[in-house]
């Protein structure tokens, strides 16, 4: 289903990582069809989080999605 370097969106908040539902990440490693390493970066390019997630934690991004920006300071991350 997912491929290396796919852009994905979180399906739920992950407060411990300072991430919110809808945040975009890139798949940087595939461990299995159901597990992957996803990197989330700030607009500057700095890595915010690098997490091992399950397929249920992310969804594909498509033409129906609009990209937005939010402040990490406002989220406590």
Q: What is the pLDDT of residues 8-46, one digit of tens each?
A: 999 999 999 999 999 999 999 999 988 999 999 999 999
Which pLDDT value is given to residue 73?
81
* 0.85 exceeded by pTM: yes
pLDDT of 76 strictly over 90:
no
Which pLDDT value is given to residue 55?
95
Burial class of residue 58 (count of CB atoms within 10 Å of its CB; 0-12, 13-18, 19+) = buried
Over residues 49-73, the mean pLDDT reads: 94
In a domain, 36, yes or no: yes
In a domain, 77, yes or no: no
In a domain, 73, yes or no: no
Where is average pLDDT lowest: 3-7, 39-43, 68-72, 73-77?
73-77
**Number of domains the chain contains:** 1
Counting Cα atoms < 13 Å in the Cβ hemisphere of 26 gives 8
Question: How many residues does this entry show for the chain?
Answer: 77
**Domain housing 13:** 7-63
Q: How far is 43 from 12, CA to CA, in rounded Å?
A: 20
Structure tokens at 19: 């991430």
Look-up: residue for tokens 């989220």? 75
17: left (phi over 0), alpha (psi -120 to 50) or beta: alpha
In a domain, 51, yes or no: yes
């Amino acid at each position: 289903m997912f491929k290396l370097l796919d852009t994905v969106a979180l399906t739920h908040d992950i407060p411990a990582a300072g991430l919110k539902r809808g945040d975009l990440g890139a798949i940087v490693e595939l461990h299995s069809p159901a597990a992957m390493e996803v990197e989330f970066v700030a607009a500057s390019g700095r890595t915010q989080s690098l997490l091992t997630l399950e397929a249920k934690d992310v969804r594909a991004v498509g033409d129906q999605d609009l990209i937005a920006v939010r402040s990490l300071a406002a989220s406590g991350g």
